[in-house]
Amino acid sequence: MTRKLLKGKHLITFQDWTNQEINMALDLAADLKKKFLRGKPHRLLRDKTLFMMFFEQSTRTRNSMEAGMTQLGGHAHDLTPDKMQLSHGESAKDTSMVLSRMGHGIACRNCFYGIGNKYLNELADNASIPVMSLQDDLYHPMQAIADLMTIQEYFGKDLKDIKIAISWAYAISHAKPLSVPLSQILMFPRFGMDVTVAAPKEFPLYKNIVKTAEQNATENNGKLRFVDDMDEGFENADIVIPKNWGGFGNYSFDEYNANEEECKKEMKANLDKYKNWICDERRMGIAHRDVKYMHALPADRGNEVTPAVIDSKASIIYDEAENRLHTAKAIMALTMGGRPQ
């Protein structure tokens, strides 16, 4: 497969990409990382423009995309609703069709529950240039591929039977989306990994996406199981990814016949039940002796994880964060038609 076959391809979720296409992106990311570390120019997207639309705050995603475009020789426009006619109700269709005539790629983050993924798909349906998800209410593909690259750097490309614990963890900083764990359970079993998801029954993942992830595991000789005990999830794990998720994604107002305030009260009550779901040294001791700790960041220190763990030698969070840059550049170069060097 040549790079040309990915030119113009959207990335809303990696479910729309084959393993071969994902591997192509990973190979290019590894090459671009080497060039970056050596200070070797790699301007694959000279004079090209990326439009970045952010409906929420961002550190790693915004900077990996903008710095990445600069290093690839192009330019990224940092757009927020207040800088566009979105604040006046302009449709995703009109925005997409106009930007398609002015640049070479559209990247968007919209995590509003029940809205984000639909918005991203409407952009993609009406764009004549590639649309890349920077996270929505269902998927965070840029995080998933950076995670996969980091895991391969530590465990090699053959990840069969590598044990990963994806665990819910207590947090009070903000209601974190489900899109990170959902993207991880979809991605990791496709590469043969043995995935255990640990979460209280009050914080489930979407059933339809879980079903797809189980199919991915079956088709790729991976494993996926669910437990409701954090200790059980950590047992003999090679990698642990304890992270909060929840929010309104677990609720259908029509189904529960409840208003927003009632849901907020119930969510807080459920959250308070599980303050002991924290990644600490004791739990790290349950895992494999050489276990690695990962987190998409920002981590809620003292709630999701103790300082002793996140700042330990087992923590590879900064490698993980750095790889957001290299994988983002690979995705942009491949989908926006980067010229080989």
Among candidates 46, 291, 56, 341, which has minimal Cα distance to 164? 291
Tokens of residue 236, six digits: 């003999």
Tokens of residue 87, six digits: 């604040």
Return the CATH number of the domain spanning residue range 143-321: 3.40.50.1370
Residues forming CATH 3.40.50.1370 domain(s) in the chain: 3-140+323-335, 143-321
Question: pTM here?
Answer: 0.94
Distance CA 204, CA 246 (A): 8
CB 166 within 8 A of CB 245: no
C-alpha to C-alpha distances, 219 to 37, 126, 333, nearest whole angstrom: 37, 32, 29
DSSP structural state of residue 135:
E
Question: How do the pLDDT tens digits run along the chain, 341 residues long?
Answer: 456 689 999 999 999 999 999 999 999 999 999 999 999 999 999 999 999 999 988 889 999 999 999 999 999 999 887 777 776 678 999 999 999 999 999 999 999 888 999 999 999 999 999 999 999 999 999 999 999 999 999 999 999 999 999 999 999 876 688 999 999 999 999 999 999 999 999 999 999 999 999 999 999 999 999 999 999 999 999 999 999 998 544 544 344 445 667 766 777 788 889 999 999 999 999 999 999 999 999 999 999 999 999 999 999 999 999 999 999 999 999 999 866 65
Among candidates 111, 256, 246, 90, which has minimal Cα distance to 172? 246
The domain 3-140+323-335 is placed in CATH, from the list 3.30.2130.10, 3.30.56.10, 3.40.190.10, 3.40.50.1370, at: 3.40.50.1370
